Structure 1
């Protein structure tokens, strides 16, 4: 066994294996230290919404940020490779796309997260950005790819009123809270345009709630 690789694993052990996602201690520390959230945390939570919170709900589906990045940056001829396995022949009312401003497929990073929601009945793409218009360019770039795939989108981007973040690092927390809030709202058959802003207390507590959730799921997995 490669000693360097073994040492790396020991320094950053896996905290949770959940569906197709592995969360390491370094990922959890992002939540504890008020840092910018990475793809691993966002991807885990999108899968948690699909698998646990909105399980078997035909109205909503949450795409992982890695797939969204591939769609945004890939050639239009390759979009179906990423989306067909997820949404083809499905009848979701709303599909959620966590959007990052990174413009490279070969590297991780970026500086801002926002949320794009495709309303399949409205045939519109709704955008929620916690630093107003910061991700507009990226949202339009993604929108053009989605318009090519879905064909019937009639409006490139429809901004939704969104609570603005009060610091430089909570865009991922806002995305998570916005996605869950909108999903609950539309699953109650309410108009997405009338969605209430996310609760300030929910935002303040979300990091600690996520840490508790991760360790709860880890204990649940160990007991099975």
Structure 2
């Protein structure tokens, strides 16, 4: 019976499907999964920052995983519907999982393409754990973003650092939300002043509240 309850759907929102077992991960100390990151990214793009939908793209973890491991000749048609060359800011959650078509890995970080600076910015809450993976990903997606290769830069940003082994995914969500405010709304409070271990701990309950709010507003 418990297993059945774990599998009940809490909310279906666009392409996101959140089960009770996903929500339970937010109680911590747990490493959050693709579903929760995808839900938050979809909410940011479709609702919270929909005023900037023409210039903003937050790509789901499963799509990023496919991009990372798929042959180059399969990516063009796959990415075409996302219209990425028209986007000013593109967010990609980076995972160290190297197994095709399978969830897993041990660490999340965030790669952001900023078109007017012609640079990829990598935000890693555990120093440079995903540095090489993020760099390889940046150069792989460069042709499909129409990022000028000759002038393109991949920068390791001094970003907030986690103090445990399980909050990396919540840092990705928190950093992504802050950057959307900064890039799309002119928010000018420094990232490191607002995203920290205390705010990330609170973010878990905020995400849970958001899930239940969306379930009530949009239905399951």
Question: Structure 1-normalised TM-score?
Answer: 0.88
How far is the alpha carbon of 1:80 from its aligned partner?
Answer: 1.6
1:136-175 correspondence runs (5 A): 136-149=131-144, 150-153=146-149, 154-175=151-172
1:213 is matched with which residue?
210
Distance of 1:9 and 1:85 partners within structure 2: 36
Distance of 2:104 and 2:47 partners within structure 1: 28
2:57 is matched with which residue?
61
- Equivalent residue in structure 2 for 1:106, among 88, 101, 109: 101
- Structure 2 residue runs without a partner (length 5+): none
Q: Is the 8 A contact 2:5 2:20 kept in 1?
A: no
Distance of 1:167 and 1:89 partners within structure 2: 37
Superimposed CA distance per residue, residues 72-118 of structure 1 (whole angstroms, 9 cap, x where no aligned partner): 1111112223321112563x211111111111123110000000001
- Equivalent residue in structure 1 for 2:77, among 69, 77, 81: 81
Distance of 1:133 and 1:8 partners within structure 2: 37
How far is the alpha carbon of 1:189 from its aligned partner?
Answer: 4.5
Q: Is 1:199 equivalent to 2:195 in the alignment?
A: yes
Aligned residues: 215
Q: Is the 8 A contact 1:144 1:156 kept in 2?
A: no
Question: Structure 2-normalised TM-score?
Answer: 0.89
- Structure 1 residue runs without a partner (length 5+): 1-5
How far is the alpha carbon of 1:56 from its aligned partner?
Answer: 3.6
